[in-house]
Amino acid sequence: MSEQSAPGADGSGRPSGRLLEVDDLRVEFRTRDGVAKVINGVTYHVDAGETLAVLGESGSGKSVTAQTIMGILDTPPGFVTGGQVRFHGKDMLAMSAEQRRRIRGEGIAMIFQDSLSALNPVFTVGFQIAEQFRIRRGMSRADAKKRAIEMLDQVKIPNAKGRYSNYPHQFSGGMRQRAMIAMSLALDPEVLIADEPTTALDVTVQAQIMDLLGELQRERQMGMILITHDLGVVADVADRIAVMYAGRIVEEADVYDLYAKPAHPYTLGLLNSIPRMDEKGQELRTIKGLPPNLMNIPPGCPFNPRCPMAQPVCREKLPPLLQVGRSRASACHFAEELVNRD
Amino acid sequence: MTENIIEVRDLVKHYPVTRGIVFKKTIGQVKAVDGVSFELKAGETLGVVGESGCGKSTLARVLMNLERPTAGQVLYKGQDISKLSGGALRRLRRQIQLVMQDPYTSLNPRMTVGDLIGEPFEIHPDVAPRGSRRSKVKELLDLVGLNPEHINRYPHQFSGGQRQRIGIARALALRPEVIVCDEPVSALDVSIQAQVMNLLEKLQAEFGLSYVFIAHDLSVVRHLSDRVAVMYLGKMVEIGTEDEIYERPTHPYTQALLSAVPVPDPTLRDNKAIIRLTGDVPSPVSPPSGCRFRTRCWKAQDICAQEVPLLQIRRGSDHPSACHFAEKREIVATHEAA
């Protein structure tokens, strides 16, 4: 399947000059109850200065992909069973733990959803940021503290100097997320993975944090992978979108194309089910049914039991992610029909 | 449509902040709800929106009489519910039911769905005679779109959306007049959220229910509500019909809140006038003097620190707003999107 995958990824293995590429990644979770196939051939890439949004519902595999890229997948139960994650063309999954450690933080950094559990409660926020400068950059305590305060200042934490010696619980949710951003950007990474960075925050604070992320990304020309389920946030910041369903990318497209005309019935269903401020009083168009059990993914297209367009072929043949038009790919047998309808 | 089913008058709920264990001493009050008044009409949906810590869930708890108010009244058909006890309270509880936010923790994992939904009948045996209970439960399961044959299953065998349906069936069991929904869809995925919202609308039409719909997601609230109240730090800052709040908001907080909602349309990303609020919500233990929003407000003047703005209809507007400088302002192009 990898030879006919997403646009941009050429399965031939020659260096394509991409910053970060995930190529036909497969991950399964081996549990007492059976094997859950969580990621079933995910391919995407991100370049410098670009924002790729990975959109999906719970259990679609979006966070597990990120954990695999970072090398923080819980093993066991999680096992990588195939595929590559290439950073500057080199497969990270084949690297030694030491080599990977060097990439973490400086090459690729990550922000987590729940800042309260991601920060260590028994160390001050400042210490946790300064630690990186001491260990990775060999700075003295005093220098590291100075740099950490600069970082807190950059993420617009008021009174950064005073806040340096606060503990995580003394910060509000928004402030903690800022501190997390400061921490992940401390070593100037080339790629930032933001896993639901604003899901736990209120809308007004969410707007502040997304602004800050956008600003820092532009300044540093970072590649960003934004993992989210929020179609509103995606529309505001993404350049490209990869939609995931049951451990696969079902559609990848430029943000404008995707919202204007989705090329996969799942994307269409998602877009239809958001209550829009401008369409009140009508019944919401829903996607019927539930996402599949990952231990028992239906044969053919995994979306077929919920799909309003499903045909016999969908129950038999798994649709590969194929290019449709110039800037998009869809894993639907009827992608052309979807895009060409009016 | 005009009869008031619930009337809330100057409702106050403070929680003491204490220090010490043996010589416990109250050192402050968390002013969770601090002077809120509104009414709920029969058959309508009142949306309550606000950010975390604004007092919306405390309001739900007081409406359910799970907490006694510090001051003020909650009147159900003219009767003060916080004064009731014993049998009278139990009878009232039938009429007001709650759907909780988290479908994972609000269902007892050791009870079957049949027991969970049937439990209200144990407490109110007069609603359904013993023999007919199982068939009633099956009816309820069918009503909320679950398979009646799953009556003997346990909560863990259901997905999040299905569990929320169980919660809704349980709230419906006693045929209440009012259902208080506290963030009923915020733990659900978008596609499932839409299914549950449609269900809530269907049930309202079928049984003439009144909803108090508490949520932080403004587009969800708009979709379901007839009227909307906006809360900030224990106070109601603006209340009006769905149209008045979303199309012609006059309170700066409502305006900022609405403009911050991400719109799922990338073509609007550059021409949105987003009001960026600075800072965080102050602590409800020591809220700012005067207007509570003044510390984050771009319009704040001296008067805002001195005088608490009342929730009243102000010049040039058609609905109550608690701002000294209430005025209309063009909000994001959300409605021009279509």
pLDDT in tens, A81-140: 999 999 998 899 999 989 999 999 899 999 988 878 889 999 999 999 999 999 999 999
- A286·B265 Cβ contact <8 A: no
H or E element, residue B40:
strand B25-41
Chain B residues within 8 A of A233 when measuring between CB atoms: 262
For residue A238, the chain B residues in CB contact (below 8 A) are 266
| Range 251-280 of A in CB contact (< 8 A) with B | 255-256, 259-260, 269-271, 273-280
- Tell me which residue has tokens 């979709």: B223
**Residue A315, amino acid:** R
DSSP secondary structure code for residue B268 in this structure: G
Assess if residue A175 is contained within a domain: no
Contact A158, A171 (CB under 8 A): no
Tokens at A193, concatenated = 């993975």
- CA B84 to each of CA B10, B75, B87, B123, B252: distance values in angstroms, whole numbers, following the listed order: 19, 11, 9, 17, 39
A281 conformational bin, left if phi > 0, alpha if psi -120 to 50, beta if neither: left
CB B75 within 8 A of CB B7: yes
The reply to whether residue A277 touches residue B338, judged by beta carbons under 8 angstroms, is no
Interchain contact B189–A (C-beta under 8 A): yes
Q: Do B277 and A287 touch (CB under 8 A)?
A: no
Measured on CA atoms in the order B225, B230, B235, B238, is the torsion positive or negative?
negative
- In A141-200, the residues whose Cβ lies within 8 Å of chain B are 158, 172-175
pLDDT score recorded for residue A15: 46
On chain A, the residues whose CB falls within 8 A of the CB of B196 are none
Nearest to B44 by CA among B225, B222, B185: B225
Instruction: List CB contacts (< 8 A) between B262 and chain A.
Output: 203, 206-207, 210, 230, 232-233, 235-236
What is the C-alpha separation between A116 and A93, in angstroms, rounded? 29
Residue among A57, A237, A259 whose CB faces B265 most closely: A259
Distant-in-sequence, close-in-space partners of A249: CB < 8 Å, separation ≥ 6: A6, A42, A43, A44, A242, A243, A321, A329, A331
Report yes or no: B127 at the A interface, CB cutoff 8 Å.
no
- Give the model's confidence band at A189: pLDDT under 50 very low, under 70 low, under 90 confident, else very high: very high
3-state helix, strand, coil in chain B (%, to 5): 35, 25, 40
pLDDT in the model for residue A131: 92
What the block records as the tokens of A286 is 């829903």
Contact (CB, 8 A) for A205 and A238: no
Least CB–CB distance from B198: residue in A158, A211, A286: A286
Paired with B46 in beta bridges are B212, B227
Nearest neighbour of B189 by CB, restricted to A58, A236, A259:
A58
3-state secondary structure of A195: strand
Cross-strand pairs, A245: A248
Q: CB distance from A211 to chain B under 8 Å?
A: yes
pLDDT confidence of residue A10: 42
Nearest to A277 among B246, B266, B281 (CB): B246
In a domain, A164, yes or no: no
CA angle, corner B134, sides to B115 and A291, nearest 5? 65
Q: What is the CATH number of the domain that holds A18?
A: 3.40.50.300
Q: In what order do the strands lie in the sheet with B312-313?
A: B96-99, B178-182, B210-215, B45-49, B227-232, B235-241, B320-321, B312-313
Pick the residue of A62, A115, A201, A203 with the most B CBs within 10 A to test the interface with B by mutation: A203
What does the mean pLDDT of chain A come to? 87
Measured CA to CA, the distance from residue B83 to residue B68 in angstroms comes to: 9
| Of A87-91, A199-203, A245-249, B142-146, the least confident | A199-203
Q: Which of A172, A276, A285, A328 to mutate to test the interface with B (most CBs of B within 10 A)?
A: A276
Which of A202, A206, A279, A327 is best to mutate for the B interface (most B CBs within 10 A)? A202
Residue count (chain B): 338
Does residue A16 carry a pLDDT above 60? no
Nearest CA in chain B to A205: B280
Distance CA A137, CA A134 (A): 6
Within a domain: residue A136? Answer: no
**Which 3 state secondary structure label does DSSP give A72?**
coil
Give the nearest partner residue to A278 out of B160, B195, B338, using CB atoms: B338
Taking only the tens place, the pLDDT of each residue in A40-65 is: 999 999 999 999 999 988 888 888 99
CA-CA distance, A244 to A61, in Å (whole number)? 7
Judge whether residue A199 has pLDDT over 70: yes
**Edge-to-edge strand list for the sheet holding B79-80:** B25-41, B4-19, B71-76, B79-80
Higher pLDDT, residue B122 or A325: B122
More confident residue, A13 or B58: B58
What local confidence, expressed as pLDDT, does residue A26 receive? Answer: 94
Split at pLDDT 50, 70, 90, the class of A9 is very low
Contacts of A270 in chain B (CB under 8 A): 190-191
Q: Which residues of A touch B335 (CB under 8 A)?
A: 277-278
Nearest to A161 by CA among A147, A172, A174, A175: A147
- Please count the structural domains in chain A: 1
**Chain B interface, best mutation among A115, A230, A278, A293, by max B CB count within 10 A:** A278
Asked whether residue A2 carries a pLDDT value surpassing 80, the answer given is no
Residue B186, both tokens: 């915020």
User: Does B271 lie at the interface with A, CB-CB under 8 angstroms?
Assistant: no
Contact flag A269-B280 (C-beta cutoff 8 Å): no
3-state secondary structure (DSSP) of residue A270: helix
Evaluate whether B19 touches B27 at the Cβ level (below 8 Å): yes
- Cα A110 to Cα A99: distance, rounded to the nearest angstrom: 17
CB contacts of B267 in chain A (<8 Å) are 256, 259-260
| Residue B258 contacts residue B331 (beta carbons within 8 Å) | yes
> Cβ neighbours of residue A286 under 8 Å, at least 6 residues apart?
A269, A272, A273, B191, B194, B195, B198
> Is A69 domain-assigned?
yes
Percent above pLDDT 70 for chain A: 93
A67 or B130, greater pLDDT: A67
CA dist., res. B227 & res. B207, Å (int): 19
Query: With an 8 Å Cβ cutoff, is B10 touching chain A?
Result: no
Stretches where chain B sits below pLDDT 70 are 1-2, 330-338
Q: What is the pLDDT of residue A173?
A: 82
Q: What is the pLDDT of residue B2?
A: 61
- pLDDT tens digit sequence for A151-176: 998 888 888 888 999 999 888 888 88
Residue B184, token pair as written in the block:
């009923």
Give residue A76's pLDDT. Answer: 84
What b/e sequence results for B130-154 when a residue is b if at least 16 CB atoms lie within 10 Å of its CB, and e otherwise? eeebeebbbebbebbbbebebbebb
Q: Is the CB of B263 inside 8 Å of chain A's CB atoms?
A: yes
A293 has a chain B CB within 8 A of its CB: no
Q: Which one of B191, B245, B270 would you mutate to disrupt binding with A, by most A Cβ within 10 Å of its Cβ? A: B191
Confidence of residue A302 (pLDDT cuts 50, 70, 90): very high
Domain that includes residue A292, residue range? 2-107+187-274+285-340
B contacts of A116 (beta carbons < 8 Å): none
ipTM: 0.77
> Which residues does chain B have within 8 Å of residue A203's beta carbon, measured at their own beta carbons?
51, 216, 218, 257, 260-262
